[in-house]
Amino acid sequence: MSFSNLDLVDECDAFPYYQVDPPLYVASISTYFELRVQDHDYAVGYMLPSVAEVFRNTPNWTLDDDERTLTLNGGSNAAERSQAVMRTLIAVRQTGHFKVLDKWRNELYPVYGKNKELLFNVERSASPLLGVVTYGVHLTAFVRTKEGGLKIWTPRRARTKQTYGGLLDNAVAGGIASGEGQFESLVRECGEEASLAEELVRSKAKACGSVTYFHVRSEKAGGETRLLQPECQYVYDLELPADVTPKPGDDEVEEFYLWSVDEVQRAMARGEFKPNCALVVLDFFVRHGILTAENEKDYIEIVSRLHRKLEFPTL
């Protein structure tokens, strides 16, 4: 099967749009529960009924079947709410009920309110269970050829990884922990994943906006399917000198390839990229004039879908 660029967008940004198909959107929404925080009258995530049910009759949580809401109660500040969430997740993890919690990371992700205030922190591996917005950094490393073209450093994820094993990735990609700045997260990830010198990253990496989408987890992600992942990725470019070669700094990457644009596009058409990494590559292609209205019939939809307005509060 050959994937079009729009197919790649559809795979990652998979939650329906109300404007495009209202009945499908309503049908999809009605299969989930809204996650709310006490005294905040809006959703911060969508949860599967099978997940919300596990929280029934647990301390600090109220499940309302009629309103289809799960509300986090108690706690007058983010620290107290975070403690309540962590206590529940630790208890749930001990039951072995959810496979995604087998990949417990001991890393906290932030959940924000409408005024960009921190509502609570959640263990990274549990964020898809709650369906909350998460944040990450993705960097495209490239070199310029003597002919004026581009070659892109493209890593292959370790085949032993539980999530998207063996698929292609961006040169550097990782989640932003609670309390960590975007650029500091990027510097850390560049060292861990690609062995890139801190001084090089700080002096040469360029912030290039963000990519947002609403993903519905499939079997590729590992663990439960149909969990929701609305995500915001801060995007960076790094033009590397010819004598700098990214090298795996941990066990998450098998090897790096230095590929031409054509080689990257062929791999994308084969469906070899991790879904959100394909979107970051498309964004890179748009910004560098590789993907244009002249050579891509779905150009306008692709560009707009790379920057989806999420229905939950974000930074």
Which CATH number is 262's domain given?
A: 3.90.79.10
**Average pLDDT score over the chain:** 96
Domain contains 178: yes
Q: Does some domain include residue 276? A: yes
How many separate domains does the chain show?
2
Q: 43-87, pLDDT tens digit by residue? A: 999 999 999 999 998 999 999 999 999 999 988 999 999 999 999
Q: For residue 264, what are the domain limits?
A: 5-15+133-305
Give the tens place of pLDDT for each residue, 283-305: 999 999 999 999 999 999 999 99
Answer yes or no: is pLDDT of 220 > 90.
no
Question: Max Cα separation, the chain?
Answer: 66
Name the one residue in this structure whose structure tokens are 């309103």. 67
> What's the whole-number mean pLDDT along residues 155-172?
91
Burial letters for 247-279: b for 16+ Cβ neighbours within 10 Å, e otherwise? ebbeebbeebeebebeebbebbbebbbbbbbbb
Burial zone of 95 (CB within 10 Å; 0-12 exposed, 13-18 middle, 19+ buried): exposed
Confidence of residue 188 (pLDDT cuts 50, 70, 90): very high
The pLDDT of 227-252, averaged and rounded, is 94
The answer to whether residue 315 sits within a structural domain is no
Per-residue pLDDT, 78: 98
Q: Is 209 a residue whose pLDDT tops 80?
A: yes
What does pTM read for this prediction? 0.96
The runs of H, that is alpha helices, within the chain are: 5-12, 22-29, 49-52, 78-95, 127-130, 182-194, 198-204, 261-269, 275-287, 299-305
Residue 16 CB-density burial (10 A; 0-12 exposed, 13-18 middle, 19+ buried)? middle
On the question of pLDDT at 24 being above 80, the answer is: yes
Strands 33-37 and 69-72: parallel
* Average of per-residue pLDDT across 144-149: 90
Lowest model confidence (mean pLDDT) among 168-182, 184-198, 242-256:
242-256
Mean pLDDT of 81-97: 96
Between the CA of residue 83 and those of 87, 119, 122, 128, 240, what are the distances in Å?
A: 6, 12, 9, 18, 43
Q: Are residues 180 and 125 in the same domain?
A: no
- Same domain for 126 and 139, yes or no, is no
pLDDT on residue 161: 80
Residue 23 lies inside a defined structural domain of this protein: no
For residue 85, the model assigns a pLDDT of: 97
Residue 213 lies in a domain: yes
| Encoded tokens for 229 | 């992942």
Tens of pLDDT, residue by residue over 33-46, are 999 999 999 999 99
Q: Are residues 143 and 252 in the same domain?
A: yes
